[in-house]
Amino acid sequence: MQCITMTVLEAGDTLDHYRLDAMVAHSGMSTLYRATDLKTGRQVAIKVPHAEMEADPVLLERFAREQQIGQELDHPGIVKTFDGEERSRLYMVIEWVDGRLLRSILNEERKLPIERAVPIAVRICDALDYMHKHGVVHRDLKPENIMVCADGGIKLIDFGIAMKEDARRLTFAGMSPALGTPDYIAPEQVKGQRGDQRSDIYALGIILYEMVTGTTPFTGPNPLAVMNERLLVDPRSARSLNPQISPQLEEILFRALERDPRHRYATAAEMAWELEHQEQVGVDEDARRPALHKRLGGKKMLLYAGLALAPLVLFVLMLLMARK
């Protein structure tokens, strides 16, 4: 078969010594194929950036960083990127994972039994803890970036906006996706801060909340409203949405979803320990605000809303500038 070097690739084409068997995903920046390594017979995933991405230095840097991180991390809960050999064009070779996206599972089942959701969260904690100890923050943790494997394990995928602690700070050019996804972004990221491992823990808190309640804790008519919501109000009581949730599990959710990162779990290992030892989690319901989803009123609401909206306005301005 002829090696195809054009931008447009189709199932059946070959790319160096890889046969593209099927297209499995298509995003604004790249296309993902299931492929076969013709040298070894191994099934892999091939991620090919679009031509416009190759011409954008910021997006190209993201692609290179994702590949580097995937090669450096070696953990069963993190998808592996294979070392680059000489290639005819830019693409990434990733291990093929037999499983389903957590998003697909939630779309189908809406919410998961607690006895199924908690082990998934513990496995995600384990992968995050390894990653954080190696100086990497995911920054875009969401059900779309978590594979649930056929054997019950998980794989974190898509490190396109991940951050290495020793890397230089990225410029804000082309930053539209660099702050994460509105439903899962941490409050400090909404405010334009870089975020750290506690931002990943916040995102995991929202994912676990969604798994056990069938919804995310913050909603709104548009992405800006969703992001602003977490700056102004506390999450809804998970137990009010699912009475099977224990006070201890709800306490764990609240600790992961603390607005101030200093009050969250300091490490994913701490969160995993409490998930596995819920009987030892102390619950002080008096310390929680009595009306968890009560909105502020009057002049105070206007004041807080103005303060909260300031970073969002800055976000929109930078987004518009980045698209020009």
Three-class SS of 96-140: CCCEEEHHHHHHHHCCCCHHHHHHHHHHHHHHHHHHHHCCEECCC
**Which of 145, 149, 167 is closest to 158 using CA atoms?**
145
- Cα separation, 23 vs 30, in Å, equals 11
Question: Which token pair is 201?
Answer: 């823990």
Q: Amino acid identity, residue 65?
A: R
DSSP 28: S
Query: Both tokens of residue 48?
Result: 């090919």
Place of tokens 């009057």: 298
Domains of the chain (ranges; CATH) run: 14-95 (3.30.200.20), 99-323 (1.10.510.10)
Least Cα distance to 319 among 206, 218, 223, 200 occurs for: 223
Instruction: Give the residue numbers marked as catalytic.
Output: 140
Give, for all 324 residues of the chain, the pLDDT tens digit. 444 444 578 888 999 999 999 999 887 788 999 999 999 999 999 999 888 777 788 888 888 888 888 899 999 999 999 987 788 888 999 999 999 999 999 999 999 999 999 999 999 999 999 999 999 999 999 999 999 998 889 999 988 888 877 655 443 333 334 456 889 999 999 888 888 999 999 999 999 999 999 999 998 888 888 888 899 889 999 999 999 999 999 999 999 999 999 999 999 999 999 999 999 999 876 655 443 444 334 444 444 455 455 555 555 544 444 444
For the packed helices 247-256 and 197-213, what is the interaxial angle rounded to 10 degrees? Answer: 140
* CA atoms of 232 and 304, how far apart (whole Å): 7
Helix%, strand%, coil% for the chain, nearest 5: 45, 15, 40
Intra-chain end-to-end CA distance of the chain, in Å: 42
Say what the pTM is.
Answer: 0.82
- Which residues lie closer than 8 Å to 120 by C-beta, 6 or more apart? 102, 112, 148, 154, 211
Q: For 321, list phi and psi in degrees, rounded to 5.
A: -65, -35
Q: How far apart are CA 53 and CA 229, in angstroms?
A: 33
Distance CA 102, CA 147 (A): 6
| Residue 180 token pair | 């994460």
Number of H helices, E strands in the chain: 11, 10
Q: In the β-sheet with 92-95, what is the strand arrangement from edge to edge?
A: 14-15, 18-26, 30-37, 43-49, 92-95
